[in-house]
Structure 1
Amino acid sequence: MTQLTRRTLMAGLVALPLAHPAQAALRPYVLVPEGTSVDFTFNLSGIAQSGTMPIKSANIQINLADLTNSRVDVVLNVAEARTRLPFARNPMLSKDVLDAASYPTIQFVSTRVQLGDGGRISRGAKIIGDLTLRDVTRPITLQADLFRPPGSDTNNLDELSIRLTGALNRHDFGASGYADLVQDTVGLDIQAEIKRAE
């Protein structure tokens, strides 16, 4: 996903709360793979590290007239996770941490969308949902931004971009291995390009 300035982001958001009544129903969107990434960060021996995890499937339903009624269900492929440090990958996937052999997926299912100031999906908007990791389900809150491509028409919502950021405590899900080396908090940065399903 290309870097966007704050001005471009805010300009893209202007049209979203003003959708027409005819757009009230949930509309399915599909991921654009080349514009989508799920990145995570962690601290190893006091040094910030990062990795990626591919999306296995995604069910995205957006209500353009009432964004609070939108729904997201995303499944990640744990076995294909990668880190920038090759030697850290096997310990991460081991039974002591993600246990990819027993729990090959991570799932996020939204339960609520909370709009930001002015009823926009910006300025503090959040997606609240349930994250299931190692067969443990816990609530998680992600900061959310939704915007149109730069230069697109205000009424054309066929293509959108989403950014979700947040963090979790890995011990809440039983992924507690290597506690002497890896800090508790794992950061999340999800960027996705989506397009309306035909």
Structure 2
Amino acid sequence: MHRRHILALGLAAIAAPTWAAPTSYRLNGATSTITYTFTLEGTPLNGTVPIDRADLQIDPNNLEASTADVTADVRRARTGLIFATEALKSRSVLAADDFPLARFQSTKVTLGARGRISEGATIEGMLTLRGVTKPVRFDAQLFRAPGSAADDLSALRVILNGSINRADFDAVGYADLVDNTVAIEIDANIEATG
């Protein structure tokens, strides 16, 4: 899917009367993932965590009232290196055996300057990782399916980008090898349930 073929949603383009109330969306788990980027001895590496569950409510007439509650199973986290994957899930980093789920619950959506999600929207919320809950903020993008009509919001793609300080969540293991900042991208394909 090429970004140039995807039209960003804005408030002006989604005020269709058939979508007058908040709409529930279900996650397409097969095509949705969380990608994280960490730096190991100066080299950036990527890994993935599958999204386990998502409760998404999107109000096209009032995007700021939309909500997200997303859970990921950190026991299924992967990197391209087996030793890095095992270290990631160890007690000193994610403690996956003790805290198998990470959860993000949104608290605030802020639209861009002209009330458009395509002009710098952000989503704030609380991230729970290793049993520690801290506020986080993501840049947000919301797209219709390529070739869909302007008022067709039955299938959407949500992309969130941000970063966390792993020490904030007591995930301090291997500090001599791995940088403290971890970039996160959530890429979710969702479908309206009603």
How far is 1:21 from its partner?
Answer: 5.1
- Structure 1 consecutive aligned stretches of length 4 or more whose deviation exceeds 4 Å: 14-17
Aligned length, in residue pairs: 194
* Alpha-carbon distance change, 17 to 109 in structure 1, aligned in 2, over 3 angstroms: farther
Contact kept? 1:17, 1:119, Cα under 8 Å: no
Does structure 1 residue 52 correspond to structure 2 residue 48? yes
1:7-156 to 2 correspondences below 5 Å: 8-9=5-6, 11-14=7-10, 18-20=14-16, 23-156=19-152
In 2 relative to 1, CA 20–153 (structure 1 residues): closer, same or farther, beyond 3 Å? closer
Q: CA–CA distance in 1 between the matches of 2:100 and 2:115?
A: 37
Q: Please, which runs of 5 or more residues in structure 1 have no aligned partner?
A: none
Partners of 1:22 and 1:149 lie apart in 2 by 18
Contact 1:12 1:150 in 2 (8 A): no
Residue in 2 that maps onto 1:4: 3
Q: How big is the shift at 1:104?
A: 0.4
Contact residue 16 and residue 64 of structure 1 kept, 8 A: no
Gaps of 5+ in 2: none
* 1:138-186 alpha-carbon deviations (Å, 9 max, x no partner): 1000000001112111111111111100000000000000000000000
In structure 2, C-alpha distance between the alignment counterparts of 1:49 and 1:111, rounded to whole Å: 30
Aligned partners of 2:129, 2:8: CA distance in 1, in Å?
Answer: 33
TM-score, length-normalised on structure 1? 0.93
* Counterpart amino acid of residue 78 in structure 1: V
Identity of aligned residues (%): 42
**In structure 2, C-alpha distance between the alignment counterparts of 1:80 and 1:71, rounded to whole Å:** 25
Contact 2:165 / 2:180 at 8 angstroms: preserved in 1?
yes
Is 2:170 the counterpart of 1:171?
no
Deviates more, 1:31-40 or 1:55-64: 31-40
Distance in 2, Cα, partners of 1:26 & 1:14: 16
From the superposition, tell whether residues 102 and 114 of structure 1 become closer, same or farther in structure 2 (CA, over 3 Å).
Answer: same
Q: Which amino acid aligns with 1:70?
A: S
* TM, length-normalised to structure 2: 0.95
Distance 1:138 1:55 in 2: 19
